[in-house]
């Protein structure tokens, strides 16, 4: 009984074929599955123990096609989450055969065309009772924008091809997996982005039905996030993704929190940076405009100048000239001649802390 394992990557192809003794054959098949899923060990009981695994790298994502004559893959609570790649979500499209996935107290029974998600960080059992072919997309959980608790609401749920979003997701996944080695890189990138977006929409539907993400402390969380932004304004890597991860929430939930602030998260960050830059331009008159911009997280002086003019109606140089000609020291936004923002600043955080750039650059909480 032959075992055929194929692994494709950007560095080439490896193909191994042979007819080793039965116990070695089972070990080879088990190890191939473990490498494909990015988690080990996996228990694969029963016979026959043969199949084909084809994988391909796609940036931080991986695709895999798995074919076999039946298997039952088990990951126990003792081994779940113990490897370095545990925060991985596996999206499986069943192409032929039948399958059953058990995770997080739910059971999904799959037929061809169905899609299901399981999380490698927690115990699961995945069974294919007979001949099967499955196409998988493996991606880090943060790419999907879900926290661990949100992922637990989505796992082991059948997304059928008869649903509006499922009928779009199934062929997209199939094309992405089958064409991973053939499409141009920019085409694959676009397909992968579309697949992730569709998965996000499916997750949103499930979370809405289950009543997830409706905490009573939204305002308190928003204030903590705004304070976190203030502490980290000088970091040019401060992004919505970083903020969401630091507060253990999804990116979608973060954007929902800012819906009442008359600004997106990125827009809020830019407004706060512009205010600090405006203050420093008047206070530190011998510091170059470029240095002030970089001090508060702007990586491009030209972008800073455009953003400043759009917000205040004058360039940073013009603003500084106004302050230099004004009698007496400037005092931030209340200084003589201070331009007002063209867009509302949103509700106040409650207090305003003045920090030196050194404090702002302190490690993230």
Q: Where are the beta strands (DSSP E) in the chain?
A: 3-9, 12-18, 51-58, 61-68, 71-75, 88-96, 99-103, 106-110, 115-119, 124-128, 132-140
More confident residue, 152 or 342: 152
pLDDT for position 134: 94
57, 261, 282 from 63: Cα distances, Å? 7, 39, 54
Taking domain 218-360, whether its CATH number is 1.10.10.60 is answered by yes
More confident residue, 65 or 151: 65
Say whether pTM exceeds 0.85.
no
pLDDT for position 81: 52
Least confident of 195-199, 217-221, 354-358: 354-358
d(CA 288, CA 24): 69
**Do you know the residue count of the chain?**
365
Give mean pLDDT, residues 291-314. Answer: 93
177, 181, 196, 296 from 5: Cα distances, Å? 17, 17, 28, 52
More confident residue, 200 or 123: 123
Give mean pLDDT, residues 91-100. Answer: 94
- Asked whether the domain spanning 218-360 has the same topology as the one spanning 3-210, the reply is no
Domain spanning 3-210: which CATH class is it, in words?
mainly beta
281 contacts 319 by C-beta, under 8 angstroms: yes
Say how far residue 29 (Cα) sits from the centre of its chain.
Answer: 31
pLDDT for position 215: 43
**What are the pLDDT digits (tens) for 120-169?**
888 888 888 888 999 999 988 877 777 777 788 889 999 887 877 778 88
Nearest to 180 by CA among 140, 141, 138, 143: 138
Give mean pLDDT, residues 207-212. Answer: 58
**What are the pLDDT digits (tens) for 5-63?**
443 333 333 333 444 555 666 677 777 777 776 555 555 555 555 678 888 888 778 89
Give mean pLDDT, residues 306-323. Answer: 91
d(CA 273, CA 296): 6
75 contacts 42 by C-beta, under 8 angstroms: yes
> Band of the pLDDT at 348, cuts 50, 70, 90?
very low
d(CA 49, CA 27): 9
Residue 43 DSSP class? B
Instruction: Give the start-to-end residue ranges of the domains of the chain.
Output: 3-210, 218-360
279 contacts 296 by C-beta, under 8 angstroms: no
């Amino acid at each position: 009984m032959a075992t055929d394992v194929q692994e494709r990557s950007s560095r080439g192809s490896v193909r191994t074929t042979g007819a080793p003794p039965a116990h070695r054959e089972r070990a080879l098949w088990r190890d191939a599955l473990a490498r494909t899923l990015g988690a080990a060990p996996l228990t694969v009981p029963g016979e026959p123990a043969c199949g084909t695994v084809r994988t391909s790298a796609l940036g931080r994502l991986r695709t895999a096609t798995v074919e076999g004559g039946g298997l039952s893959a088990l990951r126990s609570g003792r081994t779940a989450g113990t490897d370095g790649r545990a925060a991985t979500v596996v999206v499986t499209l069943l192409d032929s055969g039948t399958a059953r996935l058990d995770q997080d107290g739910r059971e999904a029974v799959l037929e061809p065309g169905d899609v299901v998600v399981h999380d490698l960080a927690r115990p699961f059992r995945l069974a294919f009772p007979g001949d099967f072919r499955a196409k998988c997309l493996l991606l880090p959980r943060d790419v999907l924008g879900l926290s661990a608790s949100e992922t637990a609401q989505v796992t082991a749920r059948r997304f059928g091809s008869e649903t509006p979003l499922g009928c779009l997701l199934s062929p997209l996944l199939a094309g992405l997996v089958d064409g991973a080695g053939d499409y141009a890189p920019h085409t694959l990138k676009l397909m992968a982005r579309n697949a992730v977006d569709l998965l996000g929409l499916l997750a949103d539907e499930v979370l809405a039905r289950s009543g997830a993400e409706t905490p009573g402390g939204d305002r308190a969380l928003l204030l903590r996030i705004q304070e976190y932004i203030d502490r980290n304004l000088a970091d040019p890597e401060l992004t919505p993704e970083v903020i969401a991860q630091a507060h253990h929430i999804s990116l979608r939930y973060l954007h929902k929190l800012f819906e009442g602030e008359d600004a997106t998260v990125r827009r809020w960050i830019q407004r706060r940076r512009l205010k600090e830059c405006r203050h420093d331009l008047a206070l530190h008159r011998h510091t170059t405009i470029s240095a002030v911009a970089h001090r508060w997280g702007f990586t491009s002086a030209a972008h800073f100048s455009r953003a400043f003019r759009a917000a205040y109606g004058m360039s940073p140089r013009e603003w500084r000239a106004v302050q230099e000609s004004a009698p007496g020291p400037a005092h931030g936004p209340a200084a003589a001649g201070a331009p007002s923002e063209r867009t509302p600043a949103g509700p106040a955080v409650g207090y305003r802390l003045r920090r030196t750039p050194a404090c702002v650059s302190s490690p993230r909480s």
